[in-house]
Chain A
Amino acid sequence: MEPNRQNTIKLQTIFPFLGLIAVIMFFQVVTHGSVFTIRNIKAVLNESFFILIATVGFSFVMAEGNLDLSMGTVMAVSCVCAALGARITPLLAIPCAVIPGLLLGWFNGFVHVNLKLGSLIATMSTQSIFTGILILTLNGGTISAPMEMLRWNSMTLKIVTMLLITLIGFYVYQNTAFGKRCRAVGACAEAAKQTGINVGRIKKSSFVILGGLCGLLGFFSLIRTGTASSSTGSDLMMNVWCAALLGGLPLTGGFASKYRSVIVGSFTMAFLANGMTLMGLATYDKQLIKGVVFLITIALSFDRENMVVIK
């Protein structure tokens, strides 16, 4: 039985890569080579920018076996704060986006750790609270950014930011004590606690990282759309969850969580969405195909043996 198990694990490891390659090859062929054009690569990078950065933050939370339902709302609140800050001076938009993100991330961690609520329930509650704050602040409307800020929305800035965040994330995840402790908590929180790891602090820190990155995305959303509204970031959570799971991040967390999943999953999602647009598929067709691909990928790659319960 042991050799079979090893083969299964190998397939689960390699499947996300195969998925990415299959998606790229399929769309490259059916669109007659339209995938690798400069214009389209720009579109893919734009598509993957928000997913990749949020998934970097989410990988720390998932490594602990936790989930976050509130990331889109955190991004929206940060976007609104950035728009309000930009009214004073545009440069104030960056801290006004990131700091609320960090604070909301900390609040998520606080509710999860100190109130001892499962991360799913905790972030479901906080999402509702943040949405309420958002609607009250916006009074049912939108806030626009100063027009000069829209010039900041350059591909160069996005690529540099994406590379920086991905590399820093990789370093922290793979090479620092914090990254290893996140995975240790996911593998067995009790064992991690017995070895002297402050489990609560590690969990809060990962929520703070995710919150901060969502805050940063709030800023980028503002300079991209020029608008802060209650619908900002509404697709983020689903896209990030799909990217993480398509990339092979296990829901159970632990040492099976590999950083490469973040990159593979994010680009798979981006190429999938982009390829369907190139094919001219309608919205409903896209949703259907996304759902089917997601289901097949998860069914094939899901690590059922280590799955005890979704925390």
Chain B
Amino acid sequence: MKSKFLVGLLTATMVIGCMTGCGSSTESSTAKTSTVAEKDTTATTAVEAGNESTSMEAAADATSAESTGSNSVETKPYKLAVGLPDSGATMFSLMSNNIKTFVNATGGEVVFQGGVGASADATIQFVEDQIAAGANGIIISPPSDSVIPTVDSLCSDAGVYWGITFRTVKDDAVKELLNSSKYYIGNCSEDEYSAGYKVMSNLHDKGVTKVAIISQAKGNTTTDLREAGANKACQDFGMEIVAEARSLTQASDATSAAESFLTAYSDLDAIFVVGTTGTGMHEAIAKAIEDAGRQNDVKLATIDFPDSMVSLFESGDLVTCAGLASWGYDPFMITVTLANQCMGCPISNTPVSYSCNMFDINDLDTAKAWVSRFGNDQTLYYDKDTMVKTYCKANNSGLTADSMQKAITDFTENSLSK
């Protein structure tokens, strides 16, 4: 009886499976989406690079003028998968809001997933899952170079475009592989080395000599470069990294690490958060310093502006930090490149490599100015109209890898000027 029941159920499953499979819509593979550059009517704040119209925007206007009077453009619908979280901290929400705005305005859809860059297993699983889920483009932040060949192989086999955010590729063999890849569209990263050097240099100016660092596992190209910059500063200024803790993901781990540093090194001058994927880490470290009664002699420094930056400057715990104009701008620009590729209008025929400049904040006023501009997760880097007109190759033939790089540089330089 049990067997018969099971056979019946399995048969029903197969029948329903076949019926739903046959009945599924195939519109998505053939439909064209009309992308219309709407005037932005949302109540969001748009932050544009520069006060004057850029050359790229002028080119976009010219392209629009050449068209039939309407800026309606036919592009392929597409689906992107971004291996970053879309919530948890303001920087994640800000990034995801901007990406969603651009992707939705250009006829695409996007999904986000956190924890992807935490391990090689998670990265590969994410890529496999998203290919199966029908993604046309994938963005990852790989934990090491060694995972990249498999990602490229999976994406190439499936005909899925992909790009890298926040990371540079150091391995020469992997670089060579990527240069010959048909589906790798490029990366966007920061000058990590200079950021590491700059923060240590700022600490030196404040009389710091002995530093403990909190960083990611060795092999993570981002923190490896930041640490290389920090080590160079140590050589130049006679400073010393006396202790380190790696791969911390929870605020409680940061507390334990800070407590260990403070107990083991009575002459410690600073704790430098070189890189972390956790949230609430800086507050936890500051609390540990305060609890140990060492607030006057142990300072906190970090790369990537934390949500609590203003309060940490106010309390005197944080003395220097370096970061991007906006953390989410880097994945946003690689998304723009990937989306254009998926729409059938590639920005470049070879992999791009964008570089975002970091800048440092050393005082409360600058921190407040930055937070007023980017501390709101509803802020848009560009209004929706500009996104569609300027950053959609179908609407702007002047959009190239060089013009994208110029836009990135302008955005950083003007981010605090308004």
Which A residues form the contact surface with B (CB < 8 A)? Answer: 10, 13-14, 17-18, 21, 24-25, 28-29, 32-37, 39-40, 42-44, 46-47, 138-142, 144-145, 147, 150, 153, 221, 224-227, 229-235, 273-274, 277-278, 280, 282-284
Contacts and interface: CB of A to CB of B under 8 A. Distances in A.
B147 A36 contact: no
A274 B132 contact: yes
A278 B133 contact: yes
B143 A229 contact: yes
Contacts of B118: 231
Given A29-B16, A33-B23, A36-B17, A14 B120 contact: no
Contact of B24 (A33, A47, A144, A229): A33
A141 B247 CA distance: 10
A-B pairs with lowest CB-CB distance, top 5? A141-B218, A144-B146, A33-B21, A43-B132, A142-B219
Interface in B148-169: 148-150, 153, 158
7 contacts: A17-B9, A25-B13, A36-B21, A43-B128, A47-B129, A231-B118, A278-B133
A282 B149 contact: no
B22 interface: yes
B42 to A, nearest CB: 23
Given A232-B120, A234-B121, A142 B217 contact: yes
Given A40-B133, A147-B149, 16 more contacts: A13-B2, A21-B10, A33-B17, A33-B23, A36-B17, A39-B132, A40-B132, A42-B132, A142-B217, A147-B173, A225-B123, A229-B144, A229-B219, A231-B120, A277-B130, A283-B114
A145 B112 contact: no
Contacts of A17: 6, 9
Contacts of A44: 132
Nearest to A277: B129
Contact of A24 (B13, B111, B124, B144): B13
Given A24-B13, A144-B144, A32 B25 contact: yes
Contacts of B315: none
B119 A232 contact: yes
A283 B217 CA distance: 23
B235 to A, nearest CB: 21
Contacts, number: 159
B175 interface: no
Contact of A229 (B112, B119, B133, B150): B119
B134 interface: yes
A28 B17 contact: yes
Contacts of B260: none
A225 B24 contact: no
B17 A35 contact: yes
B192 interface: no
Nearest to B86: A282
Contact of A28 (B16, B119, B133): B16
A11 to B, nearest CB: 11
Nearest to A41: B132
Contacts of B133: 34, 40, 277-278, 280
Nearest to B10: A21
A39 B219 contact: no
B128 A283 contact: no
Given A150-B153, A153-B150, A227-B146, A221 B2 contact: no
B121 A140 contact: no
Contact of B246 (A140, A144, A150, A233): A140
A206 B334 CA distance: 49
Nearest to B119: A231
Contacts of B144: 142, 144, 227, 229
A145 B146 contact: yes
Contact of A283 (B25, B115, B150): B115
B145 interface: yes
B125 A47 contact: yes
A144 B128 CA distance: 20
B246 A274 contact: no
Contacts of A278: 132-133
B153 A225 contact: no
Contacts of A40: 132-133
B17 A39 contact: no
A17 B8 CA distance: 12
Contacts of B132: 37, 39-40, 42-44, 274, 277-278
A14 B2 CA distance: 8
Nearest to A280: B111
B70 interface: no
A231 B17 CA distance: 37
Given A32-B24, A144-B145, A225-B120, A39 B158 contact: yes
Contact of A225 (B2, B13, B16, B121): B121
Given A227-B120, A231-B119, A282-B113, A139 B150 contact: no
A231 B20 contact: no
A103 B218 CA distance: 28
Interface string B99-128: 000000000000111110011111111001
Nearest to A141: B218
A226 B114 contact: no
